[in-house]
Amino acid sequence: MKLNIAVLPGDGIGPEIISQALKVTEAICDKFGHDLVYEHALVGACAIDAVGNPYPDATHELCMSSDAVLFGAIGSPKYDNDPTAKVRPEQGLLAMRKKLGLYANIRPVTTFPSLVHKSPLRADLVDGTDFMCIRELTGGIYFGRPQGRSEDGRTAYDTCVYTVEEIDRIVRLAYKYAEQRRKKVTIVDKANILSTSRLWRQEAQKIEKEFPHIETEYMFVDNAAMQIIQWPKRFDVMVTENMFGDILTDEASVITGSLGMLPSASIGIHTSVFEPIHGSYPQAAGKNIANPLATILSAALMFEYAFNLQEEGQLIRNAVDASLAEGIVTEDIAENGKACKTTEVGQWIVEYIL
């Protein structure tokens, strides 16, 4: 198979972790006989510095012509610490989501046996956790209009907007994945307060009737936030709107014991983007200490979701599990001071695959 991908390293540790994920991708393609074609492009702060735009037209054109996008991270202290900056790296991420039609962010939340003791939650609560969060990406308060401030600057406002079409496609996607898993969908909203949530629940209740063989439950977001901590193993597929999903997926990420372990996929109308959930971690940039495993696991999701190559994705996960078991890990999860460099972890996984 021919795999045509766009590679967007981004800012901070992005280039280092993407480099390792790309090496693993090349190793998989070599082993299974796939033809890999890829091209790099700018996004984020480095794109602002180069061309004044965090998501340049040339980057968008490359993404549109690619079957998948392997993406690192966005963000720079240069812009974080400048409240007057008119263009910010994060605007590039929002623009990419909107222009590529990335409507669903998928974050698997799974525990790794060798890391259970690093979770802030009790081992008996988290061991065996395996659920999928699906966050709607193109609607909600992040994109709603109007938004802004009053003329005197003393009042600010944002608007949460959702359409039936946006709700329909994300809820149907949740049922699609639930059919491949343990056949349970949890729809998270705030229907007792918000009009948009009531529309979500109304539409979900219509769709639910088409899937009588799948268990459906509805949960208010505040209750879901508690249940993720109290009983994470009760969930299978969780689907929710943009801001709720942003918050809940970050909360769920601590279950594994390390942000550096969690991949994500953003499913789009035109193409799909695969990235780690952590940020650009500028303090570690250039030091060869960043954990590449979330990005490598994102490459596994790319093989599965973009190309339907399940065996290839599973081999990457097996390699990551083996590296954890052997203690071939970076300093964020290393025990007894036995930390490997970013490049050493990547190379070990490549050799395991080959």
d(CA 277, CA 252) in angstroms, rounded, equals 11
Active-site hit among 190, 236, 281, 305: 190
d(CA 82, CA 350) in angstroms, rounded, equals 40
Cβ neighbours of residue 174 closer than 8 Å, sequence gap 6 or more:
134, 185, 187, 237, 238, 239
CA distances from 229 to 7, 185, 296 (A): 35, 18, 27
d(CA 278, CA 73) in angstroms, rounded, equals 7
Active-site hit among 38, 142, 177, 218: 142
Strands (E), 138-296: 148-149, 156-157, 184-189, 215-220, 237-240, 263-268, 273-276
Q: How far apart are the first and last CA of the chain?
A: 18
Is it true that the peptide bond before 113 is cis, omega within 30 degrees of 0?
A: no
Active-site hit among 67, 127, 250, 321: 250
Residue count of the chain, please give it: 354
Asked if residue 197 lies in contact with residue 190, where contact means CB atoms within 8 angstroms, the answer is: yes
Joined together, the tokens standing for residue 139 give: 């609607």
Compute the 3-state secondary structure of the chain and give helix, strand, coil in percent, each to the nearest 5.
Answer: 45, 20, 35
Strands (E), the chain: 2-10, 35-40, 68-73, 102-110, 130-136, 148-149, 156-157, 184-189, 215-220, 237-240, 263-268, 273-276
246 is catalytic: yes
Active-site hit among 30, 57, 82, 222: 222
40: burial class by Cβ within 10 Å (0-12, 13-18, 19+)? Answer: middle
Cβ neighbours of residue 274 closer than 8 Å, sequence gap 6 or more:
68, 69, 70, 71, 263, 264, 265, 266, 298, 299, 301, 302, 305, 306
250 is catalytic: yes
Residues tagged active-site: 142, 190, 222, 246, 250
